[in-house]
């Protein structure tokens, strides 16, 4: 079959992408394979690999624990990268905010739930939890509810409402459910299954100016522009490994305006200095590449894929059906497309696709209890993916009937 370009991908953007793709050794070293699982973890450009080697061979030491040159350089690296994270997130008031390094999104959300949320909530307060999002943005808040109950503080968990069939938040229903005791809202920027931008600005309008909003940005930081100056949220949590840095790196950005100051409890142990070095390099690389262009590329590829899938009756595409058409007036998905074959089990489809050189995710995608009950195949894209890979994937999918 011939895939339909949706939207059109400009020649200058193709040339830009080719130059960036060449900077990923694992991708260029395996031209027979198409890595389509960047929502799970992203590949690393040479600049990040070089930064890691440079740090380990010139400055490796512990941070804030020595007076010699290597230790001082490492301490400077950690503090410099805090500032780098704030700047990358468009923080215009870094003097008021805070950045805390974590092992990733899961630990970051747990840290907020364990060390900050109990001091913010009072008996009878309500929190909103998105039970069809990633488990990492569900389990910590449910655990916090149980821990508070043991101490005699009983809070009510309000399930985030969703629009039927689309996976989008139902902001009108949320406005009806939210009340004066709604103090905290856990939300997601880009959904890890449906690929949609979850319209965080509407969350703020629905819950009012005083509620604290915590944003799981695991699928947005490193994939599209994220500006805390535009998003009226209080926490942004993300994983470095999904933003081209090493596994075991990530950060919590805290606005520090609603509720007590964010300060993780316990003793500050040795930070993941190698991961922090990789994160600084990754953010530098992404800024040079242009997050807007990265988003434009991956959205164009996702639109090309969904447009082609629309003509294959054997497949169901998860998410808002109105956003799949090339000429749709509603927002398109980001660089994530999740699908099912109507006759082939998703696990089997994943194995079939790998036999043709495609690496995809095929399972339930760690979705919460209110999410999909049947497995599916997720195709997730980044700047190193190509139009040719999408067209070849569509050809293989079409051959399966």
Each residue's pLDDT expressed in tens, for the chain with a length of 401 residues: 344 444 567 788 899 999 999 999 999 999 999 999 999 999 999 999 999 999 999 999 999 888 999 999 999 999 999 999 999 999 999 999 999 999 999 999 999 999 999 999 999 999 999 999 999 999 999 999 999 999 999 999 999 999 988 899 999 999 999 999 999 999 999 999 999 999 999 999 999 999 999 999 999 999 999 999 999 999 999 999 999 999 999 999 999 999 999 999 888 889 999 999 999 999 999 999 999 999 999 999 999 999 999 999 999 999 976 666 656 666 667 999 999 999 999 999 999 999 999 999 999 999 999 999 999 999 999 999 999 999 999 999 999 98
Pick the closest to residue 260 from 151, 116, 141, 108 (CA basis): 116
19 CB contacts (<8 Å, ≥6 apart)?
A: none
pLDDT 10s digits, 20-50: 999 999 999 999 999 999 999 999 999 999 9
Cα gap 377→380, rounded to integer Å: 10
Cα gap 254→282, rounded to integer Å: 21
Give the model's pLDDT for residue 66.
Answer: 87
Burial 352-391 (b: 16+ CB within 10 A, else e): bbeeebbbbbbebbbbbebbbeebbbbbbbbbbbbbebbb
Give the model's pLDDT for residue 4.
Answer: 41
DSSP bridge pairs for 196: none
Give the model's pLDDT for residue 1.
Answer: 39
Give the model's pLDDT for residue 5.
Answer: 41
87 CB contacts (<8 Å, ≥6 apart)?
A: 94
The pTM of the full predicted model, rounded to 2 decimals, is 0.94
Cis omega (within 30 of 0) on the bond before 46?
Answer: no
Cα R_g (the chain), whole angstroms: 21
Burial 25-36 (b: 16+ CB within 10 A, else e): eebeeeeeebbb
Give the model's pLDDT for residue 229.
Answer: 93
Give the model's pLDDT for residue 3.
Answer: 41
Pick the closest to residue 223 from 22, 81, 102, 384 (CA basis): 384
Pairing between strand 235-239 and 250-254?
antiparallel
Q: Is 208 helix (H, G, I), strand (E, B) or coil?
A: coil
Give the model's pLDDT for residue 321.
Answer: 66
Q: Is 242 helix (H, G, I), strand (E, B) or coil?
A: helix
Structure tokens at 272: 């993941």
Pick the closest to residue 375 from 345, 396, 401 (CA basis): 345
161 and 116 in contact (C-beta within 8 Å)?
Answer: no
Give the model's pLDDT for residue 324.
Answer: 61
Give the model's pLDDT for residue 10.
Answer: 76
DSSP string, 3-67: PPPSSPPPHHHHHHHHHHHTT-HHHHT-TT-EE-BTTT-----HHHHHHHHHHHHHT---TTS--
Give the model's pLDDT for residue 325.
Answer: 61
Structure tokens at 47: 């600049």
Backbone torsion region of residue 208, taken as left when φ is above 0, otherwise alpha when ψ lies between -120 and 50, otherwise beta: left
- For residue 61, the tally of other CB atoms under 10 A from its CB is 17
In degrees and rounded to multiples of 5, residue 369 shows phi and psi of -65, -25
């Amino acid at each position: 079959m011939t895939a339909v370009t949706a939207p059109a991908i400009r020649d200058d953007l193709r040339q830009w992408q080719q130059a960036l793709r060449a900077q990923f050794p694992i991708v260029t070293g395996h031209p027979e394979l198409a890595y389509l699982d960047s929502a799970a973890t992203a590949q690393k450009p040479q600049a990040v690999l070089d930064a890691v080697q440079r740090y380990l061979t010139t400055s490796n030491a512990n941070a804030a624990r020595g007076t010699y040159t290597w230790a001082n350089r490492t301490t400077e690296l950690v503090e410099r990268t805090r500032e780098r994270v704030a700047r990358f997130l468009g923080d215009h008031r870094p003097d008021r905010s805070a950045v805390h390094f974590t092992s990733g999104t899961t630990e970051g959300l747990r840290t907020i739930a364990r060390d900050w949320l109990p001091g913010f909530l009072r008996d009878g307060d309500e929190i909103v939890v998105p039970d069809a999002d990633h488990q990492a943005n569900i389990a910590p808040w449910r655990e916090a509810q149980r821990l508070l109950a043991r101490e005699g503080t009983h809070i009510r968990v309000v399930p985030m409402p969703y629009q039927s069939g689309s996976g989008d938040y139902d902001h009108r229903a949320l406005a009806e459910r939210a009340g004066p005791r709604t103090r905290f809202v856990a939300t997601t920027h880009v959904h890890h299954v449906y690929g949609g931008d979850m319209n965080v600005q509407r969350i703020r309008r629905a819950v009012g100016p005083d509620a604290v909003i915590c944003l799981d940005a695991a699928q947005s930081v490193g994939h599209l522009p994220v500006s805390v100056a535009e998003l009226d949220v209080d926490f942004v949590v993300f994983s470095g490994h999904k933003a081209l840095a090493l596994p075991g790196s990530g950060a919590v950005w805290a606005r520090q305006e609603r509720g007590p100051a964010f300060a993780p409890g316990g003793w500050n142990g040795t930070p993941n200095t190698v991961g922090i070095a990789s994160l600084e390099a990754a953010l530098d690389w992404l800024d040079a590449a242009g997050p807007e262009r990265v988003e434009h590329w991956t959205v164009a590829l996702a639109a090309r894929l969904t447009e082609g899938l629309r003509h294959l009756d054997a497949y169901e595409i998860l998410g808002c059906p109105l956003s799949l058409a090339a000429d749709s007036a509603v927002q398109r998905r980001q660089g994530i497309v999740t699908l099912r074959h109507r006759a082939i089990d998703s696990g089997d489809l994943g194995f079939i696709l790998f036999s043709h050189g495609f690496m995809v995710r095929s399972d339930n995608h760690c979705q919460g209890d209110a999410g999909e009950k049947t497995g599916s195949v997720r195709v997730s894209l980044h700047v190193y993916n190509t139009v040719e890979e999408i067209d070849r994937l569509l050809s293989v999918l079409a051959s399966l009937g």
